[in-house]
């Protein structure tokens, strides 16, 4: 290994959006490589983003990492440096880096901040290290930092092909951001950090007797979701999206020890979403590992959905996100 040659580009800035999964990833077949037990489908969230700058500097004796204006916690710094080690190894360099990352949304509260963070970091750091990765290899790299990050590399609605090894586990675009007018009306019920992170949660999935059933049925749900999206059939889409979210939360709540990410307001938002649908409004819910509820609707229904959800006591605010583009370089 050598130090980074002074003649190569050594800094880059990238932006990536988080994503919300319609068909969820929960549990790994290989924890170290983050090879999931089932495939998944998600949309990128346009109005939310992480911007990350990476500068390799031969003068540094350690990585210097700043997240949202403060030095990274030891755990976060370790995870970022581990990811940089993979990139350094791919590029054949040993140089340390200065990393500055900023989110425009709260971290660790059921909005997948690790997805946009590792997608932006993978693109910025691999570019700064002079690795010209194609979209598949970039998605594979992002996956190593946080599984769901592989789905934030392509734009629009992405499908993560589970695969069985590092080479064949990656996400690509299923349809682009203009294909369907889906919008996420995200009801924020808490801004605090989740008690158990997803990496730890994935390890517990296997302890639930329901996990096997969830995984065995996943190809059927993926197929239903693909068909519903292709034919823009919101009714069929609602059925499979809510079923998949409920299955994942059933696994979480029957793991040992069990995981509960909901709070009391979460349930009120779920009930309100079902009520909206009964009134003929296209709306369905899905929850990641956090208490905030992603209510998926159509562009034409945003106002109605927003107004309805805002009335729920305990809902702090609504964040509206149409389908977003893929990760991109901005500097």
Residues that bind ligand PMV (CB under 6 A): 21, 24-26, 40, 112, 114-115, 146-148, 198-199, 202, 288-289
CB of 47 to ligand PMV, least distance (A): 18
Closest distance to ligand PMV from the beta carbon of 193 (Å):
13
* Nearest residue (CB) to ligand PMV, 199 versus 243: 199
DSSP of 12-71:
EEEEE--EEEEE----EEETTTTEESS-EEEEEBTT--EEEEEEE-TT-SS-EEEETTEE
| H or E element in which residue 306 lies | helix 302-310
Please answer whether residues 162 and 36 qualify as being in contact, where contact means their C-beta atoms are separated by less than 8 angstroms.
yes
Q: Which is nearer to ligand PMV, 23 or 97 (CB)?
A: 23
Least distance between ligand PMV and beta carbon 272 (Å): 22
Residue 74: count of CB within 10 angstroms of its CB: 8
In whole angstroms, the minimum distance from the beta carbon of 67 to ligand PMV comes to: 16
Rounded to whole angstroms, how far apart are CA atoms 148 and 9? 28
Nearest approach in angstroms of CB 21 to ligand PMV is: 3
* Distance of closest approach, residue 22 Cβ to ligand PMV, in angstroms: 9
Cα separations in angstroms, 247 against 209, 228, 277, 329: 12, 19, 20, 36
Alpha carbon distance 65, 101 (integer Å): 8
Strand-by-strand arrangement of the 40-44 sheet:
19-23, 40-44, 157-161, 170-175
Would you say 12 or 145 has its CB closer to ligand PMV?
145
**Among residues 72 and 115, whose Cβ is nearest to ligand PMV?**
115
Question: Do 229 and 186 form a contact (C-beta atoms < 8 A)?
Answer: no
Rounded to a whole number of angstroms, the minimum distance from the CB of residue 2 to ligand PMV is 33
- Those residues whose C-beta lies under 8 Å from the C-beta of residue 136, and which sit 6 or more positions away, are 170, 172
Nearer to ligand PMV, 147 or 324 (CB): 147
Q: In this complex, which beta carbon is closest to ligand PMV, that of residue 27 or of residue 55?
A: 27
Which residue's CB is nearer to ligand PMV, number 41 or number 276? 41
**How far is Cα of residue 199 from the mean position of the Cα atoms in its chain?**
12
| Cα 176–chain centre separation | 17
């Amino acid at each position: 290994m050598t130090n980074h040659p002074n003649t190569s580009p050594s800094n880059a800035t990238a932006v990536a959006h988080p994503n919300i999964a319609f068909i969820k990833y929960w549990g790994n077949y290989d924890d170290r490589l983050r090879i999931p037990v089932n495939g998944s489908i998600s949309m990128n969230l346009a109005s939310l983003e992480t911007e990350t700058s990476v500068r390799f500097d031969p003068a540094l004796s350690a990585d210097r990492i700043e997240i949202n204006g403060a030095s990274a916690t030891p755990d976060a710094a370790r995870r970022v440096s581990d990811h940089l080690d993979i990139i350094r190894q791919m590029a054949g360099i040993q140089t340390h880096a200065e990393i500055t990352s900023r989110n425009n949304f709260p971290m660790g509260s059921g909005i997948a901040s690790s997805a946009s963070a590792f997608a932006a970091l993978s693109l910025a750091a691999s570019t700064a290290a002079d690795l010209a990765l194609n979209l598949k290899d970039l998605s594979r790299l992002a996956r190593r930092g946080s599984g769901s990050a592989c789905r934030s590399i392509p734009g629009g609605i992405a499908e993560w092909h589970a695969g069985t090894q590092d080479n064949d586990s990656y996400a690509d675009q299923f349809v682009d951001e203009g294909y369907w007018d889906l919008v996420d009306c995200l009801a924020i019920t808490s801004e605090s950090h989740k008690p158990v992170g997803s990496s730890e949660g994935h390890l517990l999935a296997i302890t639930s007797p329901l996990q096997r059933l969830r995984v065995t049925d996943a190809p059927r749900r993926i197929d239903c979701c693909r068909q519903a999206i292709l034919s823009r059939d919101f009714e069929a889409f609602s059925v499979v999206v809510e079923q998949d979210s409920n299955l994942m939360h059933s696994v979480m709540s029957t793991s040992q020890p069990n995981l509960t990410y909901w709070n009391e307001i979460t349930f009120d938002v779920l009930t309100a979403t079902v009520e909206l649908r009964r009134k003929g409004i296209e709306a369905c819910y899905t929850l990641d590992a956090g208490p905030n509820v992603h209510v998926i609707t159509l562009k034409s229904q945003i106002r109605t959905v927003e107004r309805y959800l805002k009335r729920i006591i305990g809902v702090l605010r609504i964040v509206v996100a149409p389908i977003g583009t893929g990760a991109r370089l901005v500097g």
